[in-house]
């Protein structure tokens, strides 16, 4: 498995160029991130990808379960993976219209990198109920998204592409009895500037308890 990742990282280094680093402050970083679906090459190089994954494994982790798992799907394999995901979704009984299929193929044709996201379930863990395991995985994914943003990339978390089939996670090495598969991050260079977005007023969502 180690060899696999080294091989993948190495080929990625050859294919992808460097991406410009930005100099956002931490606060700006956290409040300017937008999910952008449409991305293109260059994707992260080996070092950048390693930094993103290193950020992921800094997520809060009750009982140090180290349950996070990541499966890389990179160009030029993304078209074959798209075939697999579309076929698996149809086989599972979910409908995909011709239009949806075309849109999905078009979207993924320019995406340099997909990261499949899963965590190993700690079954019947009295100390760490599964909600906490799920939250830790979500925090790990968020760290990747913020790291990607810091490096000038955009990312997009999708639970399409056969996420809720058995076949797609299993094709990535995640037996669904042992792993919870939570989707994909598509990562690359944004094709257009992000649309401005009105974020909610955080204080309107916040209360202060008093006795």
Ligand X SMILES: Cc1cc2nc3c(=O)[nH]c(=O)nc-3n(C[C@H](O)[C@H](O)[C@H](O)COP(=O)(O)O)c2cc1C
Write out the residues near ligand X by the rule CB under 6 A: 34-35, 156-160, 183
Q: 């990339």: which residue's tokens? A: 153
Q: Which is nearer to ligand X, 12 or 180 (CB)?
A: 180
- Least distance between ligand X and beta carbon 87 (Å): 18
| Residue showing tokens 């100099």 | 23
Tell me the three state secondary structure of residue 186. strand
Measured CA to CA, the distance from residue 42 to residue 189 in angstroms comes to: 6
Of the pair 42, 183, the CB lying nearest ligand X is at: 183
Closer by beta carbon to ligand X, 156 or else 181: 156
Measured from the CB atom, the residue of 6 and 30 that comes closer to ligand X is 30
Closest approach, Cβ 141 to ligand X, in A, equals 8
Q: Which of 38, 113, 109 is nearest to 71 (CA)?
A: 113
* Residue, CB closest to ligand X: 35
Report the nearest approach of ligand X to the CB of residue 46 (Å): 25
Angle at 174 between CA 67 and CA 131, to 5 degrees: 45
Q: Residue 197 CB, nearest distance to ligand X (Å)?
A: 6
Q: Are 68 and 182 in contact (CB under 8 A)?
A: no
Are residues 187 and 112 in contact, defined by beta-carbon separation less than 8 angstroms?
yes
CA–CA distances in Å: residue 208 to residues 31, 199, 200, 205: 23, 21, 18, 10
Q: Which of 25, 195 has the CB closer to ligand X?
A: 195
Nearest approach, Cβ of residue 76 and ligand X (Å): 24
State which residue, 35 or 110, has the beta carbon closest to ligand X: 35
Note whether 50 and 9 are within 8 A (CB).
yes
Compute the distance between CA of residue 173 and CA of residue 29 in angstroms, rounded to an integer: 33
Least distance between ligand X and beta carbon 64 (Å): 24
């Amino acid at each position: 498995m180690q060899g696999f990742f080294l091989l993948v990282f190495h080929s990625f280094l050859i294919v992808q160029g460097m991406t410009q680093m930005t100099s956002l402050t931490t606060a700006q970083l956290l409040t300017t991130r937008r999910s952008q679906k449409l991305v293109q090459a260059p994707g992260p190089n080996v070092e950048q990808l390693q930094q993103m994954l290193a950020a992921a494994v800094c997520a809060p982790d009750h009982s140090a379960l180290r349950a996070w798992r990541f499966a890389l799907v990179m160009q030029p394999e993304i078209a074959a993976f798209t075939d697999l995901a579309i076929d698996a979704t149809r086989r599972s009984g979910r409908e995909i219209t011709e239009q949806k299929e075309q849109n999905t193929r078009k979207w993924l044709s320019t995406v340099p990198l997909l990261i499949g996201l899963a965590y190993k379930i700690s079954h019947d863990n009295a100390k760490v109920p599964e909600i906490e395991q799920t939250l830790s995985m979500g925090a790990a994914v968020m760290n990747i998204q913020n790291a990607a943003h810091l490096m000038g990339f955009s990312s997009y978390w999708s639970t399409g592409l056969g996420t809720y089939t058995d076949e797609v996670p299993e094709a990535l090495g995640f037996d669904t009895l042992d792993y919870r598969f939570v989707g994909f991050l598509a990562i690359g260079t944004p094709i257009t500037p992000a649309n401005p977005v009105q974020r909610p007023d955080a204080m309107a969502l916040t209360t202060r308890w008093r006795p």
